[in-house]
Amino acid sequence: MSNSGRKINYAVRPAKNVERKMMRDLFIRLRSFGRLEDYRYVGFGSKYFSDFILFHKVLNISDMTSIESDVHNRDRYEFNKPYANIKMEWGKSTEVLPKLATKHGKSIYWMDYDGAFEKYMLEDIAIISETIESGGVLALSFNCERLKIDEVNGANNLHEQLVKMVGKEYVANNIDTRGWASSKKTAVFLKNCIVDKIEHILKSRNYSLLEDEKLEAAQKLFFTYADGAPMVTLAYVFSSKIDRSRIESCHFSDLYFVREGDEPFDISTPNLTIKEIRHLMEIRPCAEKVNAQIFAKKDVDSLWENYRYFPGFSEIESF
Amino acid sequence: MTTQDETNRIDARPTKEFFISMLTRDIATDRAILDLIDNSIDASQSNSKTDSRISITINENEFAIRDNAGGLDLQIAKEYAFRFGRSASSPLTPNSVGQFGVGMKRTLFKIAEKFYVESRKNDICYRVDVDIQDWVQRENSWNFFFNLLGKDVLAEGETNIVVTKLRPEASELFSEHTFSIGLGNEIATAYFKQLFKGLTIELNGQQIISEDIYVKVSDELSCLNKEIKIDGVDVSIICGVTDRELQEGGWYVICNGRLVAEADQTVATGWGANGVPKYHPDFAFFRGLVEFTCADSSKLPWTTTKTGVDQDNKIYKAALYHMSASMKPVIAFLRERAQEVTYEAEGKINSTPLMQSIENAKAIRIYDAPAKNEFIRPERVLPTEENDKMASIQYAASVEQINSVKKSLGVTTNREAGEKTFQYYFKYECGNE
């Protein structure tokens, strides 16, 4: 889908920027599975192609495909492509993925949806899970606002909203109505639907595979962040039984932001000036040197946690 | 352990009436008749005959099916063939179509009050005569009885099943001309593969012609072909496109040569699940064939009535994954073809490579399609952006209302009325876009 390029320039969204670099560090570790330059990257480049630029520069991936539904402005997207080797595929993801998914080889998919979760995303997940190879990654980002539940008829209302989002087969008719005021509850619910879908596909796929070839998907990322609207990102690494030792040698869990369960890693970005950042970096890690009159603890913590990924934005005259 | 004697015995035997009603309830008469053909085919297979002839006579007074498939051995008839359900000790027929040991009995109980089965094999000719009412009344005996016949009654290898008295419902059904036409069509599709290979089936003296499945292929349009082995069952999946035919689009499922699902357009064959859209007229070009072959026919994913697939069968689930993945690129192509038609109708494109590729390809039997492990297709043409930025709106309104709008706008043509009203609405309601 991806048409939010019109709405916002990704490059200046700090949490998104941090997220992208964390994903880069996750992908670098896939080296145990094979040469990164042999991987294919499939994403929604929009007009900025920020993810494409980063993954090409750092991972040296050249086989890149950007899915774009804004068919009416094709020339503009082609113009904005930073590298000629990026192939544009025009249409909605659900219509384009069946064509892309048949291609052999290891792939990284980042379906960075710009809207709230919708049923078609589960279809996309099914299409990708049907063909993704061992060593492949499926990452998904979507908007995850907390649900607004009507006080009068909470259960019905909640049920209806969830069914609309994911379909009847994922919503129990006696669903517990408590706790939905937090967007984490919705995030975990959606994560479970996604896992169900992936596992359903892998189960039928595994029936005709030899014992060593049988695939499983392991969750590695569960991010929450908000540059504006609250977002969720999930990433799954697929591996066959015979490749289990490779996935272990990736040592994903050494990355402090890796999350394999229901507790998300929240990417918080501090609201600090350049001068403040410089000062805080000089005194790090001595918390006692922080002037509490100037700095909020929350800002200091989030800077010190993610400083390696924190972007340094500054204004430039572009013409 | 509980003692077991007459004093504490509880009678749990099935009644024959219940048995008959359960057995015959869930199968349509025409499909039941196919079960008898299945038996003939199995016989010719186990006797390695490739040119068998099956003749069926059907009208309001009679039903008979005669074949020269090799005959039914008397010893097998005595011990196995007439038992209800296949016993574990019964000899196996590799790659058989009859599997459940209910076919012949179910069909005859459904349509007959009196029937006989006669056969000659190894120069022994015999007849089993059954009066069903009489048999039901003999509560404690499940036996049938046979008589030996003179050799002149049948030729060696022949079997003849004759209903001497039809049940009234069957007689009524068989009197309808459309019933025998429908039955002929069912036979033509269910056995299209065997009919092509040389089997002859006659219905009321007319030979039935194979209803084959075709796909269109060319250098720029291919048919995807995949062979896999799942737990000892050979599965072959072929899919591609041919001319549009709404009723015929979908999946054809074959078990040991017998078609069990024809043009399936439901979720049972993957439509509307896991990224495949629901069946739709745009996909009426699609033809898919999935064939399961196994010496042990109990592994095959068919239902006992052979009118569909057993979706809970593990082998079927495994095959369904491959079907779903194989059909996706074909469906993507057909979606783009539908879009191409729209673009062309709107005058946004001048060439239609996708439509042309189907038109120009040559129709061949789906079995003759060359094996390709990918779906080859031409690239689509998208409208140039200038063409794509304009679109027309068309709608009808009452002449009276149109005239009053024209008068209010001070214009004379309908086109102007349409354009001005659109501009008016856009200016006041969408002006900030």
Q: What is the pLDDT of residues B370-390, one digit of tens each?
A: 888 889 999 999 988 776 677
Contact (CB, 8 A) for B112 and B132: yes
Q: Report yes or no for ipTM above 0.90.
A: no
CB contact (8 A) between residue B230 and residue A127: no
**Torsion angle, CA of A19/A260/A258/A46, rounded to 10 degrees?**
-20
CATH code of residue A109: 3.40.50.150
Q: How far is CA A201 from CA A131, A194, A197, B374, B410, in A?
A: 10, 11, 6, 21, 63
> Under a CB-based contact definition with an 8 Å cutoff, are residues A183 and A206 in contact?
no
A154 found inside a domain? no
- Does residue A22 form part of some domain? yes
B317 to chain A: which residues are within 8 Å by CB?
Answer: 204, 207
How far, in Å, CA of B257 to CA of B236, rounded? 12
| Domain shared by A8 and A100, yes or no | yes
pTM of structure:
0.83
Nearest to A98 among B322, B331, B382 (CB): B331
Give yes or no: residues A275 and A319 share one domain. Answer: yes
Residue A249 and residue A301 in one domain: no
Residue that the structure tokens 């490779």 belong to: A246
Question: Do residue A234 and residue A122 come from a single domain?
Answer: yes
Pairing of strands B250-255, B286-293: parallel
Of A267, A293, A309, the position where a domain reaches its end is: A267
**Above 70 in pLDDT, residue B99?**
no
Domains identified in chain B and CATH numbers: 16-207 (3.30.565.10), 214-384 (3.30.230), 399-428 (no CATH)
Interface touch A207/B321, C-beta < 8 Å? yes
Closest partner residue to A102 (CB to CB) among B319, B374, B382 is B374
DSSP characters over B357-390: HHHHSEEEEGGGSPPBSS---PPP-PPPHHHHT-
Question: Does residue A155 lie in a domain region?
Answer: no
Which chain B residue's Cα is nearest to A202?
Answer: B321
**Per the domain annotation, does A161 fall within a domain?**
no
Number of structural domains found in chain A = 2
Whether A189 and A318 map to the same domain: the answer is no
Q: Are residues A50 and A96 in the same domain?
A: yes
Interface test with B, best of A95, A102, A125, A205 (most B CBs within 10 A): A102
B46, with CB counted inside 10 A (0-12, 13-18, 19+), is: middle
Residue A201 covered by a domain: yes
Q: Which tops the pLDDT comparison, B210 or B100?
A: B210
CB contact under 8 A, B385 and A73: yes
pLDDT, tens digit (0-9, with 9 covering 90-100), for B29-76: 988 899 899 989 888 888 888 788 999 999 999 999 999 999 988 988
**Confidence check: pLDDT of B295 > 80:** yes
Q: Do A309 and A246 reside in the same domain of the chain?
A: no
Confidence of residue A5 (pLDDT cuts 50, 70, 90): very low
Domain that includes residue A89, residue range: 4-146+182-267
Indicate whether A39 and A67 sit together in one domain: yes
Phi, psi of B382 (to 5 degrees): -100, 155
Residue A245, pLDDT > 90, answer yes
Where does chain A show beta strands of DSSP type E? 40-43, 63-68, 86-90, 107-116, 137-143, 215-226, 230-240, 265-267
Q: Is residue A174 part of a domain?
A: no
Q: For residue range B255-278, what is the model confidence (pLDDT) as tens digits? A: 999 999 999 999 999 999 999 999
B331 touches chain A (CB under 8 A): yes
| A175 located within any domain | no
Q: In what order do the strands lie in the sheet with B233-241?
A: B224-230, B233-241, B286-293, B250-255, B258-264
Q: Which positions 88-117 of B are in contact with A (Cβ < 8 Å)? A: none
Q: What is the pLDDT of residue A10?
A: 47
Q: Which residues of A touch B389 (CB under 8 A)?
A: 72
How far apart are alpha carbons B305 and B68 in whole angstroms?
Answer: 25
- Does the beta-carbon distance from A94 to B385 stay under 8 Å? no
| pLDDT recorded at residue B432 | 62
Query: Where are the strands (E) in B151-231, listed by range?
Result: 159-166, 200-203, 206-207, 214-217, 224-230
Paired tokens of A311: 């972007």
